[in-house]
Structure 1
Amino acid sequence: MMRDLMPSTLEGQITMEKTPSYFVTNHAPKRIHTMARDIKLIIVVRNPVTRAISDYTQTLSKKPEINTFEVLAFKNRTLGLIDASWSALRIGIYALHLESWMQYFPLSQMHFVSGERLIVDPAGEMGKVQDFLGLKRIVTDKHFYFNKTKGFPCLKKPEDSSTPRCLGKSKGRTHPKIDPDVIRRLHKFYKPFNMMFYQMTGQNFEWELEEDSGSRSSQD
């Protein structure tokens, strides 16, 4: 049981655990509900097109011999048939996965973090997380600085001079250049699922604005 692997929680403490695959694993909602039905769930999401390219970039770094993104993304490129069974693309169909979780947990126990806003305003997003968890807003903007080399904010402790904690070398890799037509087709593919996700969560993540201005992200 996952509970057995967690450290003991003392009074006044909150135990947290993260695993990216939980959200897209079919049996996870039921198992977690059985373990702790009053648990609070934090889900970080980002533009599914950028997320898919980031996923591919990570895989490419380990398996440089794999097919190109364009080849993997389509069942039939000529007909424009997207291969939604490819995990890099399927993960981004957030509405599908959220539907499974909503069978066991109410939205009041879920908090959705915008991956885009987490980069440009980490303190703001962390403030919302602390509110959701019922914690005092201790982590503020003074705890972050932006690392221009990585393209991500880093966490620091203002009260001491310890080295800031930044994302590891597996993050911030330059994305391969993807055919703009493929990007447009993927935005079109995801749009109805995104709209459904916005409606389900009551939040507009504004990913369509990124589509209008083109794919702006070059790092994972």
Structure 2
Amino acid sequence: MPRTSEGQITMEKTPSYFVTKEAPRRIYNMSRDTKLIVVVRNPVTRAISDYTQTLSKSPGLPGFQALAFKNLSTGLIDTSWSALRIGIYAKHLEHWLRYFPVSSFLFVSGERLVSDPAREVGRVQDFLGLRRLVTDKHFYFNQTKGFPCLKKPEGGGGRPRCLGKSKGRPHPKIDPQVIQRLQDFYRPFNLKFYQMTGQDFGWD
């Protein structure tokens, strides 16, 4: 992390921190006052999105269903596949809570970040102790991408800032029974995550 002077906020974002066992201890040893922001979405949607991104780089990848199940007839989920393992949020959070209290975290809903970006960004600003400078007037919904884009400040000029090409890809069609089986699998982990965070993300 770069040196940070009084009054500055230094931010670093790497999604794999949340699922890396060594990360909580290392960050705690660096600064136990670190504020931690975790963006989460429905783990089934997250897994399909993860698969879609990998498929774009490796077109010969087996089908989603083949990777998701150890045994399709019994419905046994293959939790060794990282696309599915990452979505077991409660297990990952347990590692972090050994070092940081839950008050050190802000859990941002990935779904609400799309449907109501100003509200979620407002929560981030509050959590960081910042004035609410970014509001709903800074966002517009891009129909093509299916995501909100950030407008430049008044008089700032320039084009709006939208998510890159890798975001908003159409997902492959997945058998509804496969999705149902995954929802059933994640349900107890989701409920535990809601209890741990004090937030119901409404994924069921």
| TM-score of the two chains, using structure 2 as the length reference | 0.98
Q: How does 1:116-155 map to 2 (within 5 A)?
A: 116-155=111-150
Which blocks of at least 5 consecutive residues in structure 1 are unaligned? 209-220
Q: Which runs of 4+ in 1 moved over 6 A?
A: none
Distance apart, 1:55 and its partner CA:
0.1
The corresponding residue for 1:192 is: 188
Which blocks of at least 5 consecutive residues in structure 2 are unaligned? none
Corresponding pairs, count: 203
- Residue pair 2:36, 2:106 contacting (<8 A) in 1 also: yes
- Residue pair 2:149, 2:161 contacting (<8 A) in 1 also: yes
Q: How does 1:91-102 map to 2 (within 5 A)?
A: 91-102=86-97
In structure 2, give the amino acid aligned to 1:100.
H
Q: How well do the aligned residues superpose, as a CA RMSD in angstroms?
A: 0.8
Aligned partner of 2:159 among 159, 163, 185: 163
- Residue pair 1:142, 1:158 contacting (<8 A) in 2 also: no
The corresponding residue for 1:77 is: 72
Identity rate, percent: 73
SS at match of 2:184: helix
Aligned partner of 1:58 among 53, 78, 94: 53
Q: Is 1:202 paired with 2:198?
A: yes
Aligned partner of 1:24 among 1, 19, 22: 19
Distance apart, 1:88 and its partner CA:
0.1
SS at match of 1:104: coil
SS at match of 2:166: coil
SS at match of 1:75: strand
The corresponding residue for 2:10 is: 15
Distance apart, 1:158 and its partner CA:
2.9
- Residue pair 2:152, 2:161 contacting (<8 A) in 1 also: no
